Amino acid sequence: MSQNLPNMLENTITKMRQMMDVNSVIGDTITTADGVTIIPISKITVGFAGGGSDYVSKHPNKQDNPFGGGVGGGMNVTPVAFLIVKEGNVRMLPVALPANSATERIIEMVPDLLDKVADFIDNKLDKKPEGTEE
């Protein structure tokens, strides 16, 4: 097996490391005029793959077999929250990601729906005539 594929993978990983650093996860702090400090927090998703093969040479005198292969990689930086520091107090403000599917949208709607049902029931109970029992 050729040594090209491990070298290709190593070069890809090295380039990906050069593109990301701690500032990709914990962003640069932002300080407002009134002294509030905001620190962005992100998550990084990384993936890469590679493959290749040595081919049998058509020239019997050649010592090395030809190699064909490729490597690819990708990164995704997604903001997940902000740390808010004000007067010594720290608060985390999560970033709401948009729903990707109908199921996620329905799940997002459940708390609002439950609030509406509870308000409806409370209104019905408040309007119940006096002297009636449940």
pLDDT of 131 strictly over 70: no
- Contact between 5 and 19 under an 8 Å Cβ cutoff? The reply is no
- Half-sphere exposure of residue 41: CA atoms within 13 angstroms, side-chain side: 11
From 75, 38, 39, 69, select the one nearest 55 (Cα to Cα). Answer: 69
Same domain, 77 and 27: yes
Q: Provide the number of structural domains found in the chain.
A: 2
Give the pLDDT of residue 132.
Answer: 56
Confidence of residue 1 (pLDDT cuts 50, 70, 90): very low
pLDDT of 134 strictly over 60: no
Same domain, 70 and 40: yes
Same domain, 112 and 61: no
Q: How does pLDDT run across 78-95, given as a tens digit for each residue?
A: 888 999 999 889 998 888
Same domain, 74 and 27: yes
Q: Which residues of 33-59 are buried (b: 16+ CB within 10 A; e: fewer)?
A: eeeeebbbbbeeeeeeeeebeeeeeee
List the helix and strand counts (H, then E) for the chain: 3, 4
Same domain, 113 and 84: no
Domain that holds residue 81: 4-96
Same domain, 27 and 78: yes
Same domain, 75 and 89: yes
Same domain, 91 and 117: no
Same domain, 109 and 80: no
DSSP string, 48-85: EEEEEEE---S-TT-SSPPEEEEEEEEEEEEEEEEEEE
pLDDT, mean over the chain: 79
Q: What is the pTM assigned to this prediction?
A: 0.50
Same domain, 12 and 63: yes
Give the pLDDT of residue 3.
Answer: 62
